[in-house]
Structure 1
Amino acid sequence: MDDTVFIEGLRIDALIGVHEWERHAPRPLLLDIEMGFDNRVPAASDRLADTLDYDAVSTRLAAYAAQTGFQLVETLAERCAALILDEFGATRVRLKVSKPGAVERAAAVGVVIQRRRG
């Protein structure tokens, strides 16, 4: 059994895109993240150390994205999902990466992926 820990609308900046005009400066991305985790232990202990710490996840993803230079949001999504599974003990992750302003007539474009550990 696992529960869901989520982060909605996490704004991170990344140098990302295939077009030359996208490669000059970092662009804002929005992440919506759902992570599988058994919350019974932290609920019983009431200790942050026992949780899937969403602040730590947010900080790590922002730092990671800032040092990458991927062309595709698909690549960034895969790497971020793997990071969450490997470093934070999530059993599963559903990650939506939105790239506002990438298509003139759309509020945002992006990808949604779902991955499980193992």
Structure 2
Amino acid sequence: MKPFFSPEDHIVVSLDEVCVNISCGLHPWERHPERPTRLMVSVRLYAPLLTPRAADTPIIDYDVVRQRILDLESDGHIDLLETIADLIIDSCFQDLRVTACSLSIRKPDIYNESRGAGIDVFRTRARWSEGR
């Protein structure tokens, strides 16, 4: 089986726990626009580190991904967290140097006895490109 990454060095750019309030979910009680669901989104962008020093590498701008997450608030109702993940992943691969990304989406207020419910996704550019 071919590994996800070459054995080269990588830089991982992180964006942690971006909080957005959107209308999402399949349950009837999740479909009230006046009571949006709070989501916590974390993203990791993986890119080859082509220089001996990380400081000499051109930056990966995570603001594009951050803005896409914030824009979810104006996208209307979305049933599935998986759909939200796909929208965010599309923004991750706008920078051609990003070879893979991972993201975590949590609904922290969904269950009283839990810190949150949600999904984690890891996607490579090669696999993402197949679905385009």
Q: What corresponds to 1:102 in structure 2?
A: 110
C-alpha distance in 2 between matches for 1:68 and 1:6: 27
SS in structure 2 opposite 1:33? strand
1:33 maps onto 2:40 in alignment: no
2:92–2:101 CA contact under 8 A, matched in 1: yes
Q: What corresponds to 1:88 in structure 2?
A: 95
Which of the residues 70, 75, 85 maps onto 1:77?
85
Q: Give matches, 1:39-54, under 5 Å.
A: 43-44=55-56, 50-54=58-62
RMSD: 2.2
Structure having the larger proportion of residues in helix = 1
Which has more radius of gyration?
2
State the shift of 1:108 in Å: 0.6
- Percent sequence identity over aligned pairs: 23
State the shift of 1:74 in Å: 1.8
C-alpha distance in 1 between matches for 2:15 and 2:85: 15
C-alpha distance in 2 between matches for 1:19 and 1:76: 16
Q: What corresponds to 1:6 in structure 2?
A: 14
C-alpha distance in 1 between matches for 2:19 and 2:71: 12
Counterpart residue type for residue 43 of structure 2: I
Q: What corresponds to 1:117 in structure 2?
A: 125
1:15–1:66 CA contact under 8 A, matched in 2: no
1:13–1:66 CA contact under 8 A, matched in 2: no
Counterpart residue type for residue 13 of structure 1: N
1:32–1:97 CA contact under 8 A, matched in 2: yes
Aligned residues: 113
Name structure 2 gaps, 5 residues minimum. Answer: 1-7, 127-132
